[in-house]
Structure 1
């Protein structure tokens, strides 16, 4: 399976949607949120149906747990709180046999991935949960052939995105997506990205991609990702990519940003609004906090050089 990781607002949903158009790929969205948003809150799947009415997810639940009613959501939440937090990464990354609670928590995800692959007939399942701690947890599942795509975006663009008000369509506009201050998002950007570097040092195959480069040539980027995931593509497999946009089919993302509901034409354009709209003081703050890693990832510290 392929895990898409990185701090939120880095472009993972776009990468997931485009990967999901490839033959043999089943894109599941952010499975980490399935337990609350779908099982408890019955929010809408990417196909537009409520989770409880989505035939795909109901089949997955039947195959994985003999029905979603058999999942102890309270237990899953307790396990998540005990092991799947950024502060637990040093323990998760330690060598030796993973703790029993880590293996138990990873097992829930393993059963979903296996069921989704069998129901869809896919050779590759994609989880865009993003969370670095969850990626470390999945190492504990011996039956998961884990590969990770680490999606990086300029920290200043990420910071600007976190300041914007974005309605959550699955709540019919009643709720907005979480917002962070630039200082908070800068600290999170450092922590999450460093955690994926640690994951690579623990022997997990990790491929880092820069969101900006992905958008510049999505066709070439998808070919490279498919090769990394062990998929062989034919030229016609990328016919959904057009100059400046992609044509998307209905998907079954369990959770994620509003792009998961997009069907049909999806514009593919570089978003550099942060260069104009993020106040200079906040740009300098984020640049100072994230400077070493920005340089390591090839981003110029002078925003004008990023144009």
Structure 2
């Protein structure tokens, strides 16, 4: 069982990558995993259309496996526990149960948090495979502005998280993936990602909107998408003044610099060489 940890910032294509991986027969996407016990307790609905998680084919099975193997319910897990022993045990049995319930050797965690990634990398019994999804800082800031976020604050956040991910992953094997590149060539990029994981691209992955998904964030993306076409979100190029673009790039300079270093070392070109 391998955990594909999707690192990055919000509004940077991480949910899309999670869904694309989920449509593969050997991968079960779990979305923002720390939120699932709480959502199971509150009986929230699932992206697959089930009115509650206890009625969802995947999450009800995860709960059943946990009860059968460990005498625990999904609702009882603390996947963000401060105590590292509790954190380790609860996350380990959660991922094992999810892999068994999904019938796949790979599961995903798309919580994106640098701190969660850092902690998971130290958990015995969990093999973490980080996939860092990058997006142009200007596109990220523009997308966040649609949600009423301050442009410069988002640029600082971009740099801060980029520095954290660089510090955590700079000595670890991982994959760096550009959202813009994925949007331009979904089939080609996804083929390289799957090859890096030792898997072949499956045709269903390019028809991802036609299949049910159980990762919490998928529901919002599927509502906004017509079919399975992936269209680059580049509205910022026309709508954002050049002066603003330059200011964001200046604030995000350190983050951009570190991300380019990461891409040269762990990007798709090198991933193809490694997988080959």
Name the TM tier (shorter chain): 0.7 to 0.9
**Equivalent residue runs for 1:12-23 within 5 Å:** 12-23=14-25
State whether residues 45 and 255 of structure 1, in contact with CA within 8 Å, keep that contact through their aligned partners in structure 2.
no
Give the alignment partner of residue 273 of structure 1, picking from 232, 235, 241: 235
**Equivalent residue runs for 1:60-79 within 5 Å:** 60-65=62-67, 66=71, 68=73, 71=76, 79=81
* Cα deviation code 1:163-185 (max 9, x no counterpart): 214xxxxxxxxxxxxx5311221
How many pairs are equivalent? 255
Alignment gaps of 5+ in structure 2:
262-276
Equivalent in the alignment of 1:218: 186
Q: Does 1:196 align with 2:165?
A: yes
Q: CA RMSD in A?
A: 2.6
Structure number having the greater helix percentage: 2
Equivalent in the alignment of 1:90: none
State whether residues 113 and 125 of structure 1, in contact with CA within 8 Å, keep that contact through their aligned partners in structure 2.
yes
- The answer to which of 15-24 and 56-65 deviates more is 56-65
State whether residues 30 and 127 of structure 1, in contact with CA within 8 Å, keep that contact through their aligned partners in structure 2.
yes
**Equivalent residue runs for 1:21-60 within 5 Å:** 21-36=23-38, 38-49=39-50, 50-60=52-62
Q: Does 1:293 align with 2:262?
A: no
* Cα deviation code 1:106-146 (max 9, x no counterpart): 33222221111111211211121111111111012111111
TM-score using structure 2 length:
0.82
| SS of residue in 2 equivalent to 1:267 | coil
Equivalent in the alignment of 1:228: 196
Equivalent in the alignment of 1:181: 150
- The answer to which of 113-122 and 56-65 deviates more is 56-65
> How much has 1:43 moved relative to structure 2?
2.5
Equivalent in the alignment of 2:94: 112
CA distance 1:111–1:281, shift in 2 (3 Å)? farther
| SS of residue in 2 equivalent to 1:271 | coil
> How much has 1:217 moved relative to structure 2?
1.4
CA distance 1:257–1:184, shift in 2 (3 Å)? farther
> How much has 1:226 moved relative to structure 2?
1.5
Q: Distance in 1 between matches of 2:225 and 2:99?
A: 22
| SS of residue in 1 equivalent to 2:164 | helix
* Cα deviation code 1:216-254 (max 9, x no counterpart): 1111222221222232x16xx225527xxx553011113
